[in-house]
Amino acid sequence: MQITLFRRMAKREIKAELFAHIYITPSESNINRGLDAFSRQIFIPAVRALRRRLERAADAPDIEPLLLAPASDRTVTFDHNSPDYIETVRAVEHVEQAIQQSNDYPDQEDKEQRLAELSAGRRILQAVRARGEAIIAVLYRCLLYVAKKFAMWRSARLLSRR
């Protein structure tokens, strides 16, 4: 529910200040205090929980074998019209754009490396077929790294603003 709420706020379907005023601090007339209360009560705990979940997933020793499908050493054919394929390509593009537009990325060399890996991964996905090992080596490992590092980095930044 929280993720859905945040997504709808990001899309401007729900106004955060109005939500905070109605549901978090209905008696508060100061919008900034209402948003601050919303952040303390809902957003920051959700960030912590998401960070812990991503860290557990990234550190799970049994996650790698799940990705090693029987055909991972062989060629996999892509259906470029399937909804899953389209969603995957869009998600990779979105991550790549987010990193590209980040002015406060902590390490410039790491940023260039991740952008190169994501670009290579998108190029692999554009082909008619690819090796499963290549997809795991380039895209999966890069996205796992980005998810883990950014979960810790962003939550540390949010908490340091307090």
Mean pLDDT of 2-26: 84
What is the value of pTM for the model shown?
A: 0.58
Q: How far is CA 78 from CA 66, 75, 85, 87, in A?
A: 20, 10, 8, 13
pLDDT digit string (tens) for 23-41?
888 887 888 888 888 888 8
Per-residue pLDDT tens over the stretch 111-151: 999 999 999 999 999 999 998 888 888 998 999 888 878 76
In the chain, the amino acid numbered 75 is T
